Structure 1
Amino acid sequence: MLDRVTQTDNTAPDPIHPTAEIHPTAIVAPGARIGAGCRIGPWCTVGPDAVLAEGVVLTSHVIVEGHAEIGEKVQVSPFATIGLAPQDLKYRGEPTRVVIGARTMIREHATVHRGSIGGHGITTVGADCLLMVNAHVGHDCTLDHHVILANNVMLGGHVEIADTVFVGGGAAIHQFVRIGRQVVVGGMSGVEADIIPFGAVMGNRARLTGLNLIGLKRRGFPRSQIHTLRAAYRSLFRTAGVFQDRVDITEASFGEDPVVQEILAFIRADSRRGLCRAGRELLDEEEGAEAAA
């Protein structure tokens, strides 16, 4: 049974909304702010700098620590942790942050660490994301909206993931990797380089296998634009010559298409990890997949 409880600090207005429900075994530190309709279940721990927006549900045995901001209607399953210190030996307890967007679901044993002074000082998970069982989001990562991390996905520090990306179970993403929007990463892949928007990768070490054609079709991209994207992809990754020359040729041929321009801008942006390319052993497989599509 959930009860309404108050904090012990009587010198300041009660920051727990009257409609919040907190189990008697939960510990909510003085200073934490708990929004309307929140439900904090058995054996949860909420630290003094945490902010829970309206309708947040901490099912049971959840730890929220540090400067953590959790958006509206976020649901957190048992034994997940949010805002614990980064796994960075240079960290000395600085007041870094973690922010979780609205309606995101964080499943059992998932971990989201707060940022570090050596990075952005903040770890961000966007709205409507799903972190499945045992997923790990390292310090200073930035996930945009509608990102799905399947079971046991591991993100090293400083990883950047754009909107509507799916990362398959057991995949490991190297620190500082950038992943463009609407990418699909195959399960058990080891990703050590940046992935262009709309790409599909798999393998250890991961290589481009083509475009995320299924995702493009599901999200309503017109057939004409998909054909343009495929032609641009072949120009970039399936032709001979110096890669920078191929980038320039692709822009001259297809640069008027805004989606192609997005890929070219991603390629030209600063990168610490380089670009994920198509492996030679995958070229014949990719050709067959594109022909079937």
Structure 2
Amino acid sequence: MKKVKIDDFKVTQPIKLDGTKNDWDLNATEDELKDRLKTTRQKLGKLQDTLYAHGKYAVLVCLQGMDTAGKDSLIREVFKSFNARGVVVHSFKTPTALEKKHDFLWRHYIALPERGKFGIFNRTHYENVLVTRVHPQYILGENLPDVNTLDDINTNFWDKRFQQINDFEKTLQENGTIIFKFFLNISKEEQKQRQLRRLDKPNKNWKFSPGDLDERALWEDYRKYYEDAINRTSKPKAPWYVIPSNDKDIARVIVAEILLQELQKYNDIKEPELDDAIKAKISEYRERLKND
């Protein structure tokens, strides 16, 4: 089986999404991929236990992708070996009335993982420069002081919003949050086939909405704005990874192995040692328990 090389997926210079791959070959069978993922996620689970005990870092995993890209199933499969106390998943939907009364980052900020935990954002703060660029009328619903008409949602507006996102992530990183941003990259044809399966399988029908087809018609717009967002916000301490995702099993292995390889670089994440005074009395405590 082929090794996952992080540099094949990390965005370190401007990219063209049309030039990135939707498919990837790890030279492995389906069963081999499942075994490989199982091994990797078990290692991640052990690492998370150490992260929890260490208590000085949080990990934020951001997942973005077109409809049907496989975000939900990736979360289920990659993180199933984690202790439930150490991982929290947030799925961001249309902002509520309360959320619209705050700045656009507020609902994401209050959902951030505490130190020692993993936080998974299923759709993220990037929706605020993706969906809103395709549908700028949504910005009017934020009731911002300087935005009264669509004409006010101009280049300067988006420049400022991207700067706010970069500042937000820089602040997180400088205060102990390790950030991973994954774009699950599927082809338009693959999306079509997955949407058809939703219609064909009764147990998947609930996932389908007629609005999905309206959004699919805007595929090129979304791709354009994804490309712009990735290029503007892939930074050394908060990089984007573009993951070929036409094959879900392969995408899961790639994401899991990137997480493991990058987190293993943090040599200071170790379980804390017992206080010397307690350590000196371990034998005494053991005897007390045996004689209890």
Same fold (TM over 0.5): no
* TM-score normalised according to structure 2 size: 0.21
* TM-score normalised according to structure 1 size: 0.21
Q: RCO (CA 8 Å, sep 6+): is it higher in 1 or 2?
A: 2
